[in-house]
Amino acid sequence: MAGVSSESLTKALTELEAKLPFASLQLAKELFGILGAIDSSAGLRRALTDPSRSGDEKSALIRKLFGGKVSAEAADTAAGLASSRWASARDIGDALETLAATVVIAVAENKSAVSASGITGLEELENDLFSFNQAVASSHEVQRALSEPQASAAAKIALAERLVPGASEEAKVLIGQAVSQPRGLKSTKLVGRFAELAAKRQRRWIATVSVTRPITETQASRLQAGLNSVYGRDLKINTTVDPTLIGGIRVQVGDEVLDASVITRLMELRRQLAG
């Protein structure tokens, strides 16, 4: 997805972010349901991506079709997506799939630690998705069953759940979606995409700290407290030693880099002197 569609998806994800702390699996299921309806109707896809229709017209169409059948939150999310511009009919479906999966991932993220070892909901979700793909890869019989066009969605979901007994509810929703509505992909490919989304979200809360020499426990505690305060939650901190920092520290959390190293200040000075 690129160009105008990528911009529309970025806008939709930004608007969704405010809802994620209170997200529910029901919302994700409703969004996946709307996706199924859009995928099953070529006419609806054309209407939602018709450049001659205004955003308000396309949004109204979604509300007319799904209002009262899903929650107001789901209808609002889908209507907002429809009001944007899309380069192709496929792109709006891909975007809705991404939004629904992001809701599921956020539900997992919002869970507290689920074991004595401190594994997070996101880590549990990633592990379950990986286990499913491993189980499918190890059995040609399972691969044939999941790709059998005559098999019902319910049968495929039941088989998938037997492959990962004890999987979290969040994992069951994503795996069930992948095997029942793979949208032209192998189910394992789609599960892999969902896992990538979960990993990307988890990286938002992992701080990679580079220092010039090992830090003490006291320094580590202060660093942990400081970063937790900045980001408003407990971060997982991985510390590495990098002598090239010349007495500084570099912190990366997701895509954000906080760099207070001497070498960075020297490079900035050189840029200023160079004009």
Residue 269's pLDDT band, with cuts at 50, 70 and 90, is: low
- For residue 80, give the nearest of 156, 163, 13, 164 by alpha carbon: 13
Token pair for 244: 């090239």
- pLDDT band at residue 56 using 50, 70 and 90 as cut-offs: very high
Express each pLDDT in 211-265 by its tens digit: 888 888 888 888 888 888 887 777 778 888 888 876 678 888 877 787 765 556 5
Residues facing 237 on adjacent strands: 207
Give CA separation, 28 vs 72, 75, 106, 123, 170, in Å.
13, 12, 10, 19, 10
How close are the terminal C-alpha atoms of the chain, in Å? 38
Q: What is the pLDDT of residues 119-147, one digit of tens each?
A: 788 889 999 999 999 999 999 999 999 99
Q: What letter would DSSP give residue 214?
A: P
User: What mean pLDDT do residues 105-128 have?
Assistant: 81
Question: Is-contact 121 78, C-beta < 8 A?
Answer: no
| Structural tokens at position 157 | 């979901």
Q: Is residue 132 within 8 Å of 186, Cβ to Cβ?
A: no
Task: Inform me whether the pLDDT recorded for 267 exceeds 60.
Answer: no
Helix pair 72-82, 89-109: axis angle to 10 deg = 140
Does 102 have pLDDT greater than 60? Answer: yes
